[in-house]
Amino acid sequence: MSERIRFLLNESDLPRTWYNILADSPVAPSPVLNPQTMQPVTPDFLTVLFPMGLIEQEISQERFIDIPEEVREIYKLWRPTPLLRARRLEKELGTPAHIYYKYEGVSPSGSHKSNSAVPQAYYNKIAGTRAMTTETGAGQWGSALAMACQFYGLDLEVYMVRVSYQQKPYRRHLIETYGAKIYPSPSDQTQIGRQILAQDPDHLGSLGIAISEAVEVAASSGGKKKYGLGSVLNHVLLHQTVIGEEALKQMDMAGEYPDVVIGCVGGGSNFSGIAFPFLRENLRGGQRTRLLAVEPAAAPSLTRGVYAFDFGDSAQMTPIFKMHTLGHDFVPASIHAGGLRYHGMSPALSALYHAGLIEARAVQQIGIFEAAVQFTRTEGILPAPESAHAIRAAIDEALQAKLTGEKKVILFNLSGHGHFDLSAYNSYLTGQLEDDVLPEEQIANISARLPQVSIVA
């Protein structure tokens, strides 16, 4: 057995292709519907928001898609990312399990989000786009896209969920430092924002509302501005598969193969990024790795939502997707994992979960921070509260292995660092955090609030 801790790849090992799960998924993708006609969208509906390069990736059935050399050059600023074995954590837990983690917090903006921000800005740039709009929850996606847009000389405006805009000023300042404009959402910049503010001037906002604002600005710009989404869509999941492709090679260097691969899920992109290449090995290579998605108990779209057609945003402007959803009007509690508060889940990931190829688990806030602090104190890295969901599940799997004496191999994705989330850590350390389980009433009749879709899928 190797005594090594860090498994590092060379620049030349940086993947040359992204992996498209749609090529191997046994479940056919459901159609994406136009919100006005309720019929399948046509590409021209999507070209209002996205450049053709990304639309092609969104619907592609090709197994591998080349990563442009211009994108690989920028990836090299932080990729390949390290894979580490958490030996000190293993020891502290007294578990026979081996715990590995892939660390995406080494990217300049501090999370995996840069893996998709760079290609999104790139495909916009080569399509002649001059400016982009986007939303951000806790600010990770906003900072990643702000960096990428700056690299390619694109203007960017960011609509940031108001509660995070107020609670997390440092992410906001980072976004401004990268050169983007940022507005608290709901804002007075859009029709939908003004409507909501007229009813409630202190509205705290939600990702669904911020998406509506960013989409409205792009859709009404006469083609001048395009919109970028940081998760959920097929092309975003595609870009994140560099994580799992590298991890496959690194597990090989470690001489082990994971029994379980774990990631936290907001819209599903970092989990899919690490899990899909391992799912390919399950589907095509006969492996039997369990794939475990971990979500917050306060926004449990996989474990307690319904699998149905729903809008991607609150104002019903985005296309309609078949996905696990808590309803597009869902406003979650203001838990600290701001990046995991989305009402829906990636349609591709939802379908795989529905087909039983992926497992899901919901975890509560206090246990998440317990795990985060234990990880910080043993491994030294202070994780993002989002990533700590994966750590919680990894620790629970390791403790289970301790009970059974099983030498289980666990791999999880550490999607980002938590250096901008220290006030959340302070709340935990001073006993001010509460567990926040979603009351049954709030999701009792989701289906009644979903769009009426007659299409059979």
Applying CB under 6 A, the residues found at the interface with ligand PLP are 111, 113, 140-141, 231, 264-271, 339-340, 384, 386-387, 415-416
The least CB distance from residue 378 to ligand PLP, in Å, is 20
Of 189 and 387, which CB lies nearer to ligand PLP in the complex structure? 387
Of 339 and 347, which CB lies nearer to ligand PLP in the complex structure? 339
The least CB distance from residue 267 to ligand PLP, in Å, is 4
Diameter of the chain measured on Cα atoms:
64
DSSP state of 35: T
The least CB distance from residue 79 to ligand PLP, in Å, is 16
The least CB distance from residue 271 to ligand PLP, in Å, is 6
- The set of residues, in sequence order, having a beta carbon less than 8 Å from that of 4 and lying 6+ positions away, is 85, 254
Of 331 and 340, which CB lies nearer to ligand PLP in the complex structure? 340
Distance of alpha carbon 395 from alpha carbon 391, whole angstroms: 6
Query: Which spans in 331-455 are helix H?
Result: 347-354, 365-379, 385-404, 422-429, 440-443
With residues binned 3-state (H G I as helix, E B as strand, rest as coil), the percentages for the chain, rounded to 5, are 45, 15, 40
Of 193 and 268, which CB lies nearer to ligand PLP in the complex structure? 268
Evaluate whether 369 touches 428 at the Cβ level (below 8 Å): yes
Distance of alpha carbon 11 from alpha carbon 387, whole angstroms: 25
Closest to 7 (Cα-Cα) out of 79, 78, 84: 84
The least CB distance from residue 140 to ligand PLP, in Å, is 3
Distance of alpha carbon 386 from alpha carbon 388, whole angstroms: 5
The least CB distance from residue 136 to ligand PLP, in Å, is 9
The least CB distance from residue 362 to ligand PLP, in Å, is 14
Of 119 and 266, which CB lies nearer to ligand PLP in the complex structure? 266
DSSP codes joined into one string, 251-300 = HHHHT---SEEEEE-SSSHHHHHHHHHHHHHHHHH----EEEEEEETTS-
Of 57 and 95, which CB lies nearer to ligand PLP in the complex structure? 57
The least CB distance from residue 260 to ligand PLP, in Å, is 18
Burial of 34 (0-12, 13-18, 19+ CB in 10 A): middle
Of 113 and 203, which CB lies nearer to ligand PLP in the complex structure? 113
Of 95 and 208, which CB lies nearer to ligand PLP in the complex structure? 208
